[in-house]
Structure 1
C-alpha cells in the first residue's frame, strides 16, 4: 500500500505536471471505485488544475471546480503518461479505474490489480466532505506533531504501539510498512503498550518517526511515479524481508502473520532476542 512518502512523491510529481492545465476528459473504468455522485465526475471537465496535495495517504487534485480525492488502498496506483491512449475507456475487468486527460493530451490512469477492489475516488466540493479525510489525525511531518502530542496519543488509549502508529485517526499517513521500519529503528517491540512508554522512549520514537519519514520522502522526491514502488522496497530494513538478515545486527528478520496482513521485525534489535509468537496460533510470547 502506498504510504505517506510514496503519496507525497506522487503528489509532487503530479502537481508539477498538472498545475495550470485544463481537464479535458474524465473517464470511469470501474464504477465501484467512484464513491460520490454529486458533484458528478464530469464537473471536473473544463476546470483548471491548481495543483495537488496530500491528506495522510489521500491524493487531492485541486481544480478551480471540485476536488478529485483518491485513496489508492492496497493495490491501487497512479500511472502517468505524456500522451494518453485515445481508445475509449470501457468499464469491465480491466485494472483501469479512472482516466484523467488534460488539454495537452497528457494525463494519468488510476489502476488497481487483484480481485479485492478498494481504490476510492471522490469528487467533492471540499476535502473534508469525505469523512475519512475529515477525521484524519495529525500529520507526522507537521509542526503540530510534537513529542507532547505523541505522548497524549500514547496515554489516551493504552494500545500496542504498532496499532497506534497505523491508526489514521491518530497519526495520518503511516501504514504497515513504515510502522515496521520506525519500530525497528526505535528498537521497540511492535506490541509494546503505548501507555507504558516513558518520556525518553517517546522522545526517541518521535524523532525516529520524523527521521524515517523525512528520509523516505527525500528518496521519493523527483522520481517518476513508475519508480516509486521500487525505491520504497530498496529502502526497507525489515519490512518485506522475512528470512533475510537484519542489516543492523545480522539476525534473521522474523514475521508475525495475521488474517490479511503481516509484520516483520528483528528479535535481537526489538524484543531482547525473544521471537514473537504467530498471532494466528497463540498469544504474544512475553
Structure 2
C-alpha cells in the first residue's frame, strides 16, 4: 500500500510527527513494536512535561496514542528491516511485507547495544532479524532466538510452531515464553560459523544451531538506510529535522541530547510539518 508518510517509531516524537502530518492532510502509517520496548513506558512518574504532570510513562504513551488514533493515524505492529529510496519514493520493508511512501520520518529512540561478534559477517548466512520472514527456512533445524524485544517470546513461539528447534537466549527468562521452549541465560554473546552459522556462544556456552534470530526493538539507523549521516551514534539533522537523505526526516532521542519528552514532541511536530511541505513541493515540480 502507498502512503504519503511512513513514521518509524511510536513514541512521543513519532506520534507527534504523525498527528502534525495528518493535520496537513497527509496519509500516515506509524510502524512500531510494543510500547513496552519504549524507555518512556517504564517511567514511574513524569513531572517535567508541560500541562501533564504526575503521569506514568505508560499513561502518557496511552494519551499520545489515543490522540493519534482520534486523528486517524494508521498504526501497525512490526519491525522495519530496511528503507530503500527509489527515485522520489521510499520502499519500507516491514517484517515480510513492503510498504511505499513519499517521505519517511525516523523516530527510533536511542539505538542501544553494539553488534555482536560475528553478527555482520553472518547476516543473511544464518543471522536474521525477522522470524516471520526467514523462519520457514529452518523447519526441523536448531535455531537460537536472542530475545531483546517485548514481542520476542511470541516470535519464538511462532518459530516453534513452524517446527524449528528453538532455544531462547536472554538476560532473564520472560514470563511470556512458552514452557516447552528451552531457555539459556546469556549476556555476552558471540556468533560462530564457517560459510554459514554453526553456533551461538552465550556466556561461554556453545549452542549449536543453523540459524540465529536477533530480535531487537529496532535496527540501528545506518542498518535501515545506508548513507544516512550519523555522528556519535545520533542521526544528523538540520533545524527542520531533515537528514542527509532528501525526503527522510528524524526526530526525538535518535537525533541527540537532551533525551526529554518535550524535545521529542517538538521535533516530531517539526518533522511532520516539514515532511508534508516536502511532499507538497515534490508534487509541484
Normalised-by-shorter TM-score class: under 0.3
* More strand per residue: 2
* TM-score normalised by L of structure 1: 0.27
* TM-score normalised by L of structure 2: 0.27
Greater RCO structure (CA 8 Å; 6+ sep):
2
